[in-house]
């Protein structure tokens, strides 16, 4: 087959439009394009498609999403690498997957001493834009938040990090949508089982409605030991849930890191509530 009759592949044409063909190949193609209306049409369509794609998926938005994915990929890789190193150092050691109660207690004191304690009545005030009042009277600016209420008879009691929960407890989760547009709420128990609360299905983070919203289903705690950690991850950009879930599962394997929250890119925000199981 001569060059003049050879099929012009999509990649060849892409490279032509990108200006990345070697000079001799470009010159040959230039000659063909002058007399080949089909090739001319394909090039026109490529250029129109370029414009359309960049209009639909802006470089700014794709930049953030690619950076988020890159960050998650790097963190996962680091965690896996650390796990491999640990396995090499202690080949016969038993791998710890649960967080000891003592570590949890320390976490509770050190990390969550300023977690706001809310009543259901005061949630509306926060939702309306009011500041969040912490236990020690400090007012902090409100942003996306997660609230967990224990159903008790006809009433509810808010649970916060460090509170004790039991098998069979019925929990109502609520979130405050403020600041970020997309969110994902899930929990991990002491066995490492992950439960998705919002959204329960689908692969993408759900849009967060402004204000306080109760999730449609209550959550009953099972007999998993030691703890149940609730995560609320939010961002202004859409993100994939599987990547965050995988990261959380791997993170849970690192008992010395559990208290630090997930290592997410700064375009994410996260809230954690850790309940002790008894």
Partner 1 sequence: MAIDIKAYYEKYGPMVLRRCRFMLKDEERARDAMQDTFVKLLKKEHELKDQYPSSLLYRIATNTCLNIIRSRSRRPETQVDAQILAIANYEEPESSWLAKDILARLFGGEKESTRTIAVLHYLDGMTLEEVSKHTGLSVSGVRKRLRNLRKHVHELEGVSL
117 contacts partner 1 (rule: CB under 8 A): no
C-alpha dihedral (47, 50, 53, 59), degrees to nearest 10: -150
80 contacts partner 1 (rule: CB under 8 A): no
Beta strands in the chain (DSSP E): 132-133, 139-140, 145-152, 155-159, 164-165, 170-177, 182-189, 194-198, 206-207, 211-214, 219-220, 227-235, 268-277
Q: How far is the CB of 157 from partner 1 (least distance, A)?
A: 41
Q: How far is the CB of 50 from partner 1 (least distance, A)?
A: 4
Contacts 24+ apart (CB under 8 A), 87-96: 95/253, 96/255
Which residue in the set 4, 14, 170, 225 belongs to the binding site for partner 1 (CB under 8 A)?
14
91 contacts partner 1 (rule: CB under 8 A): no
Q: Cβ closer to partner 1: 247 or 252?
A: 247
Residues 50-69 that bind partner 1 (CB under 8 A): 50, 53-54, 57, 59-60, 62-63, 65-67, 69
Binding residues for partner 1, total number by CB under 8 A:
28
Residues 234-263 that bind partner 1 (CB under 8 A): 240
Q: Cβ closer to partner 1: 67 or 249?
A: 67
74 contacts partner 1 (rule: CB under 8 A): yes
Return d(Cα 143, Cα 175) in angstroms, integer. 10
C-alpha dihedral (180, 181, 182, 186), degrees to nearest 10: 50
Residue 81's alpha-carbon distances to 30, 77, 78, 250, 261, in angstroms, are 50, 6, 5, 11, 19
- Which residues, at least 6 apart from 37, have a Cβ–Cβ distance to it below 8 Å? none
24 contacts partner 1 (rule: CB under 8 A): no
Return d(Cα 181, Cα 134) in angstroms, integer. 25
Which span (14-22, 96-104, 147-155, 178-186) binds partner 1, by CB under 8 A? 14-22
Q: How far is the CB of 165 from partner 1 (least distance, A)?
A: 36
Q: Interface with partner 1 by CB under 8 A: which residues?
A: 1, 6-7, 9-12, 14-15, 18, 20, 49-50, 53-54, 57, 59-60, 62-63, 65-67, 69-70, 73-74, 240
């Amino acid at each position: 087959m001569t060059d003049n009759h050879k099929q012009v592949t999509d990649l060849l044409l892409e490279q032509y439009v990108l200006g990345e063909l070697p000079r001799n190949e470009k010159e040959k193609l230039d000659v063909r394009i002058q007399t080949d209306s089909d090739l001319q049409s394909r090039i026109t369509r490529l250029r129109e498609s370029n414009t359309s794609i960049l209009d639909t998926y802006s470089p700014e938005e794709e930049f953030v999403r690619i950076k988020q994915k890159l960050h998650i990929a790097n963190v996962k890789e680091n965690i896996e690498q650390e796990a491999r190193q640990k396995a090499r150092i202690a080949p016969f050691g038993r791998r710890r997957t649960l967080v000891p109660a003592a570590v949890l207690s320390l976490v509770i004191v050190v990390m969550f001493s300023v977690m706001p304690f809310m009543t259901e009545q005061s949630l509306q005030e926060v939702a309306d834009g009011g500041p969040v009042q912490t236990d020690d009277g400090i007012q902090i600016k409100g942003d996306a938040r997660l609230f967990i209420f224990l159903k008790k008879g006809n009433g509810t009691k808010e649970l916060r990090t460090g509170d004790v929960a039991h098998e069979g407890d019925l929990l109502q989760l609520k979130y405050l949508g403020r600041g970020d547009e997309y969110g994902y709420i899930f929990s991990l128990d002491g066995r490492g089982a992950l439960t998705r609360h919002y959204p329960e299905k689908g692969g993408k983070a759900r849009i967060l409605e402004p204000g306080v919203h109760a999730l449609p289903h209550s959550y009953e705690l099972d007999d998993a030991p030691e703890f149940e950690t609730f995560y609320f991850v939010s961002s202004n950009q859409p993100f994939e849930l599987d990547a965050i879930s995988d990261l959380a599962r791997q993170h849970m394997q690192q008992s010395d890191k559990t208290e630090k929250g997930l290592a997410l890119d700064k375009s994410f925000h996260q809230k954690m509530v850790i309940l002790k199981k008894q």
